[in-house]
Amino acid sequence: MNRAKPVLFTPGPLEVPRRVSEYMADPPANYHRQDAFRTMFAENQQDLKDLIGIRSPADWHVTMFASTGTGANDVCLLALSRLGRGLIVSNGYFGERLVTQATECGVEHDVLRLAVEEPMDPGAVDEALAADPDLKWVFFVSHETRAGLVNPLVELGRTCKRHGLMVAADCVSSAYAYAIDLEAAQVDLASASSSKAIMAHPGLGMVFTRVAAVERLRVAGTPRGSSLDLVAEFDKQSKLREPRFGQPVALHAALRAACMHLKTIGIDAHHRRIRRQMQDLAAHLGDLGAPARVDPRYRSWVVCNFDLPPGFTCAEISKYMEGQGLFILYGIGGDKNHFQIATMGDLSDENLSALKRAFTRLFTARRRMSSDLARPAAVASSSR
């Protein structure tokens, strides 16, 4: 069996540090009700809060679910629904995903749709909230991964709070990828995933839960979500440092190793490396005729979409890159005119150089061939 795998330039699941896979294969506990698990759980709590920049850790609990980022968003929606009707603000693919999830979970909501490929305008959110004083909560996406677009988390959160609402933010792809300030944003719930920039394996959905918000949710309505019930899970985990139901211990161990890795290299260095590699790649691809999409002022520099150079197809690039051991995403969302690259995984500069060299070979070979073909035959033969 061929076990060689391409290097992932994807926005999660992604390349993980070697230690993460080692911990997953040989976790320090093998049951979720052992003391060794509780120790690991408590250490992860501390590091997850510290690495994301929380300054008052006692005010927060990272409630863990055996799910992915989508599941963490279901958890938030079901918890918010205890309060009554809320507003989902959408300016792209993952905002629309929240709307779909709310509809499918039977969560009463309105939708405010704002321009895509532009950051959400807090003024527009302010107006919508002022016009409907019966709203109880707001949910929006912090980083629109599909576009690689940063929304103004702090301004949006504060705007919603001025209206006295509970605020949730989908931070699945911004958490640990670039600096975010959950406390300044005054959010109550923020979803994240083990498979994104924290660089662990997929399978744990996390909800940064403001302790004070739990009491409001508890008294506001009846439990929702059963195994996805935020309040019940918070109660058990924050008191006993173990989940209500069986969770994959090996994934908690992978997360432990990911936290240790980020503490060793430093979270600021991690953010800087992700950004530097993407800026370098975008400049390189721009020179090769594959410009990056989205106004550079709004780009996250974590995930970026690139136009195909004229004459190339996604299928052809994909075949060539996989042959080179390099995996990127092509034509996502049905738009066959682009490919997407992320640098949020554990990628070395050598990985990036290999990707750049492959693009250079692919995109310039075609150009050389077509300019040879365009040259008059006599000139072409005289050069032989």
Ligand X SMILES: Cc1ncc(COP(=O)(O)O)c(C=O)c1O
Closer to ligand X by Cβ: residue 89 or 141? 141
Closer to ligand X by Cβ: residue 17 or 69? 69
- Give the three-state DSSP class for 63: strand
Minimum distance of ligand X from residue 61's CB (angstroms): 20
Minimum distance of ligand X from residue 94's CB (angstroms): 4
Minimum distance of ligand X from residue 350's CB (angstroms): 26
Tokens coding 312? 């190339």
Closer to ligand X by Cβ: residue 90 or 173? 173
Closer to ligand X by Cβ: residue 29 or 207? 207
Q: Which of 275, 50, 285 is nearest to 150 (CA)?
A: 275
Q: For residue 246, give the DSSP letter.
A: -
Closer to ligand X by Cβ: residue 177 or 217? 177
Tokens 């390349």 -> residue: 15
Q: Give the binding site for ligand X (CB under 6 A).
A: 11-12, 68-70, 73, 94, 141, 145, 170, 172-173, 193, 195
SS3 labels along 202-228? CCCEEEEEEHHHHHHHHHHCCCCCHHH
Minimum distance of ligand X from residue 73's CB (angstroms): 6
Minimum distance of ligand X from residue 197's CB (angstroms): 10
Closer to ligand X by Cβ: residue 75 or 257? 75
Distance CA(344)–CA(177), nearest Å, equals 6
Which helix (H) or strand (E) element contains residue 369? Answer: helix 349-374
The strand ranges marked E within 72-165 are 86-90, 109-113, 137-141, 143-144, 149-150
Minimum distance of ligand X from residue 67's CB (angstroms): 8
Minimum distance of ligand X from residue 68's CB (angstroms): 3
Closer to ligand X by Cβ: residue 68 or 363? 68
Distance CA(384)–CA(379), nearest Å, equals 9
Residue closest to ligand X, measured at CB = 69
263: Cβ contacts below 8 Å, ≥ 6 apart: 47, 50, 51
Tokens 């309505």 -> residue: 221
Distance CA(250)–CA(23), nearest Å, equals 7
